Each structure stands twice: as C-alpha cells, then as structure tokens.
Amino acid sequence: MVGTIDAVTGAWYLLLHWWVAVFGDSVTALRLPAALALSAAAGLTTVLGERLVGARAGLLAGLLFAVLPGTSRYGQEARPYALATLLAVLATVLLVDAVRRGGWVRWVGYAATVAALGLAHLVALILVGAHAVVVLTEGPSGGRVRRFGAWSAALVPAALLLTPLVLVAREQRSRQLDWVDPARLTDVTGLPGGLAQSATVGGLVLGLAALGALRYGRPALVPGVCLALPVLLLLAVGSVVPLWVPRYLFFTVPFGCLLAGAALTLTRAARADAAPPPVTTDSDTPGTRPDRGTPQSGRLRRVWVPVRGAGLPAGLAVVALVGLMGLPDQVALRRTHEWPRSAAIDYRGAAEVVVAGRRPGDAVVYAPRDGWLFLDLGMAYHLGRSRPPTGRAEPGDAPAGPSPAADQPRDALLIRDQADRGDLWATECARPAECLAGVTRVWLVVAGRRDDPLAAVPGAKGDALRADYTVTGVWPRAGLTVALLTR
C-alpha cells in the first residue's frame, strides 16, 4: 500500500512487520505497541510538566492523560497515532532542554525525534510551528539568534528525509483522503469531545486547560502554543486542502492535559493590590492620612495564584472525577470504536460460526465488499484463529463442524486481493454466476442484522445467489449476519 495509497504510514507498517515477526499477530500483540507508546507518553507528559510548571502539575497531567477515554482508544489501535503522540511529547521535552541548556547532543536527539515524528505521522509535523515559538520565547534572551540557528539546523535532516515522502503523499492524497471534507470553523467545537472520546470529559479538560493557560502565565506558554497552534494550522490548511481529521490532532492532547494539570495546582491566596499614591498631611508627613498617623497599605484580596507544589489532593480528586465521568465511554470503547457505540461488529463471532460448520469445498461471499466495514479482512483474520465449539449445540448456536485443520472456505468471487491491488479493497468477479459454478455451499456474510440475508445482497451478485441457492441457516451476530446457502 505504500506505493499506492498509504505511503505516509509506511514506516509504521514496517515497524509492525518486524514486531509481528517477533511477537506474532494476536490481538494482544497487535495492540501492545500503541499501549506501550501511550504509557510512555503519559510518563513524558509528567517530565515535561516538571520542567515547565512543577512536579505536581506534571504528575497530575500525566495521570489525567492516562484516564482519558481517548487514550484508551488510541492505546489499543494498531495505528500510528499513539507513536506520534509519544514522539511529539518527547520532541518537546528535548527541545525545552536544548533551548535552556544547549549542547549538541540534545539538538541531535531533537533532530532524530522530529524525523521519526514525521515518519510516524506526517501531519503531526505541524507541531514544528509551535516549536518555533518555543525557541524564540524560552531560554536566556541573549542567545535567541544562536538558538534559532541551531534549531533550524536540527530540522535539516528531517527535511531531507521527509521531502520525498511529502511528494509521494501529495500524489496519493486524492485516494487516501477522498472522504474528507474541507474544514470549517464549526468543526473546532467538536474537537475536544472527539479527541477525548467523550464530550463531557473533553469539555471539562478544555475548561481546566483554559484556566491553566490564563492563570499560570509564562510557564504555560509552551504547552499552550503546542496545543493551540497545531489546531489552528490544520484548520487553516484543511480549509483549502481536505486534511481535517480530528484524530490527526491527538498528539496535542498531552499538552492540553499539562495545562489542566497546572490549573489543578492553583490555590487561592491573599495578594496585596498596589498601594495608591501617598497622601500628604498638614504635617507634610508622606504616606499618612489626616485621620490616621499610620502609613497606608494596599488592600488585600483573594485571588487564584500558581503555588508550586500546591493542590495535589484536590487535583487527584479531579483526576478521579474525570476517570469516573469517562467510565461509560471506556466500557463502550472496549466493545467498538464505531459510532454510535452500540454499533459493535462481531467479526470473531461470525468467523466462529463459519469455522464450526465449514466443509471441504465451501465458499464464502461478502456483502458489501467495498466501504469501511472490511468484512473480508476482519473475517479472514479471525477465520485463521477460530476453533469449533465443543459440547452439545443449543438452538441458535453455530452448527457442529469439523476439526480445526479443515480448510478455510474459499473466497469464491475474489479476483485480486488487497495485497495484489496495494490498497484496502479487493476486486470481485464481474460475472458472479460463472465464478460460483460448481460451489454447492456458500457462507454469506452481510452487514447488519438481516432476517432475509439474500435480500440484502445487491446487483449481479445478489441475483446469482438468489437464482441458485436457498438459505438453510441464519446466525445473527452483533453488526453482522451469517447465512449458509445451499444449491
């Protein structure tokens, strides 16, 4: 797919290829890289928070990031967004250290991390725009020109490495992102809930982040610009070139959590207002009132101020509250990532039905074959792992089947598979009746729950099946229906 539709994810695919060669392709093994990446990202969020706003703010930020439903989602997907998030936080930590402390080793580490970030997810490179602001505002004021030069030099290797990838991705964009609409300003309103995978949790974290940015002052500049500027840049670019996909901005979430963690360490304290001009009396004594012979003092008022190390118990309570608020979405995400959350698709259950009842010479047909459900890919994965049930069958169970060594049903209508085409969709036989000739039993897998599965198959494929086959068994599963057809 690198050469046809998905070059921007090629490095991730290569990494998964090596990972699977060592650890296998079980569900757990495929999810583990993302889980490890976001676990490390949570830890690095704590480190960045300690660098910028204090250890307790960093701790609360890391914990807050860990309990978000969005972290659970992208931490269990075999996709590059978790790795991109880890690299985005790591690059920012290295940049802050390089700007404040200098040293070529830190700049080399930053350069390598930025290059890796672009390989993991090209769109995440918009974070570099925020890093430019960090370079110009952090560190001693005397060395800004030198630091900016060092930062620019650190970006050269990434530019050389990623420019060919950008050119290839530009040619593939029409195929890869043809489903994306141009960005609109109103799209931003749904972004917090989309990234957090919970509207209430996203709204609460955004409110805390805004409070932290407003009240914490200059220490909040780095996470603030790393949160806001990528969103604004992608919105601007996405209004011209369709690129606005909310999950592309998941790498900004740790920075929002860092601002929220800073807000959770704010405490109310007394602060004196500036004293008014001194009052001169008849005795010409500065700073006394005619009716009082004492110097005038400023008024005291209670304000929210940053206090390093304050607010840990209350902050932990808020983190726990966020976790409880997101609990329903956490449970739903473990069933499906589709929307609505009730739209679970039980590929494994459908595959178990087929494995339990298959016979040599059986075929399988999918409807629909195009679209984003990927019935064939989901079934193919689980068909190789399912085992027939043991014990006595009950009504509604899959039919008793052969040993696990039985051949998998043949994909009777397949002409070119995804590997041959180099994308996510297969090519089917243009004359289904001819391709099904000689097949006596067909396992039909259709999307949705269908009382009459044959009626759900459109076009020539449906005509061929209805003309020559009869439904002899139907097994509904979540999001799918499996039917056995015989001549």
DSSP 135-198: HHHSS-GGGHHHHHHHHHHHHHHHHHHHHHHHHHHHHHHHHHSTTPPPP-GGGGGGHHHHHHT-
pLDDT of residue 398: 46
Q: 294 or 226: whose pLDDT is higher?
A: 226
Provide the 3-class DSSP secondary structure of residue 45.
helix
Integer Cα distance of 422 and 228 in angstroms? 36
Given the structure tokens 């409070």, which residue do they identify? 211
In this structure, the strands spanning 300-306 and 363-367 are unpaired
Q: At residue 442, what are phi and psi to the nearest 5 degrees?
A: -125, 130
The letter for the amino acid at 143 is G
pLDDT of residue 311: 63
pLDDT tens-digit series, residues 177-195: 877 889 999 999 999 999 9
Query: Mean of the per-residue pLDDT values for the chain?
Result: 85
Which pLDDT band, with edges at 50, 70 and 90, does 342 fall under? low
Which pLDDT band, with edges at 50, 70 and 90, does 420 fall under? confident
pLDDT of residue 388: 45
